[in-house]
Amino acid sequence: MIDTKVKDCIIIGGGIAGLQAAIQLGRYSAYDVLVIDRGTGRSTICKSYRNILGWPDGVSGEELRQRGRKQAEAVGVAFAVDDIRKAERDEARHFVLTGKDGAQYRARTLLLATGLMDRFPELPGLMSTLGSSVFVCPDCDGYEIQNRKTVVMGSGDPGASMALLLSERTRDIIYVNHEGKPASSEHMRQLAELGIPYVEKKVAEIRSEESGTISAVVLEDGSLLPAERGFISFGGNSIYSELAEQLGAELEHNRHVITDPRSKMTSVEWLWAAGDLGVHSELTTVAMGEGATAAIWINKTLKQLTGKSAI
């Protein structure tokens, strides 16, 4: 299927940044905007964001996504379920996008909000606790482990670095090097100096209470590590910047997309990036701000390209 109609803007990614951008663009009441989402991503697995204005008791990623989509649809934004595999530009400088089954979409402007996904092994009990009592982002959820018994599960230096960072929050912390990859001598020295126990064994299971709160980490030898909170840090996260690369956008050494700090436009004209895909601290609240900022500048560009203005 080829959609011959050229959209004013296509947003790839229906997570937090993409939805916030869609809401902002829809409220200009002037543009044909399409969000293409494959229904996965970091926000789909977080059970409770507690650092967002107005949600002191937390809100799940799924609820935010549902509310955001409903809000965007109410201002005229359309949605499509697809996984965009190819991005290029045609003679008219329109962006041409191809989905996993060959469907094509065209747009004058493009916002990439494809995000990233943390790398972690399939550990029994992890998914039921992830985002509620086991966390990935110290900026987002370091507060949640304050003075609590915490187990960091990770690999080599990434896990050691996380344990050292979190020791500012709690002294009752242990690092389990699940994958057994060596940590640097400097990290090992710092762990020892701070009295952070280091265990080089595989995690067999994460146990939790009925509420979904972690209660213990079971190791491969059957030993139990009691826990009130957990963190994971395995390194090697997947940055979904392939489409940006196909279009020639400049990337950081870690494959995050470089954008103008003011407009969030990439090094490619009329191509924007927002959220975890870009270079920032990976907070949900930052993703919201970047999505809105990108939309404001997309509006400025579309006024010039289409002659349209807010109704």
Hey, where are the domains in the chain?
A: 7-118+237-306, 134-233
Intrachain domains 7-118+237-306 and 134-233 with the same fold: yes
pLDDT in tens, 89-130: 999 999 999 999 999 999 999 999 999 999 999 999 999 999
User: Which amino acid is present at 205?
Assistant: E
Looking at domain 134-233, its CATH class is: alpha beta
Give the Cα separation of 214 and 128 in Å (integer): 9
What is the mean pLDDT of the segment spanning 68-79? 98
Position with higher pLDDT, 310 vs 275: 275
Using the predicted structure, report yes or no on whether residue 250 has a pLDDT greater than 60.
yes
Sign of the Cα torsion 123, 128, 132, 133 reads negative
Q: How confident is the model at residue 259 (pLDDT cuts 50, 70, 90)?
A: very high
Contacting residues for 229 by C-beta, under 8 A, at least 6 apart: 133, 134, 135, 144, 145, 148, 149, 150, 151, 214
Residue that has been written with the tokens 């916030």 in this structure: 20
Give the Cα separation of 158 and 153 in Å (integer): 10
Give the Cα separation of 307 and 304 in Å (integer): 6
**Contact predicate 60/46, CB 8 Å:** yes
What is the mean pLDDT of the segment spanning 282-305? 95
Q: How confident is the model at residue 307 (pLDDT cuts 50, 70, 90)?
A: confident
| DSSP class per residue in 215-274 | EEEEETTS-EEE-SEEEEE---PEE--HHHHHTT--B-TTSPBP--TTT-B-SSTTEEE-
Token pair for 56: 């002191």
Looking at domain 7-118+237-306, its CATH class is: alpha beta
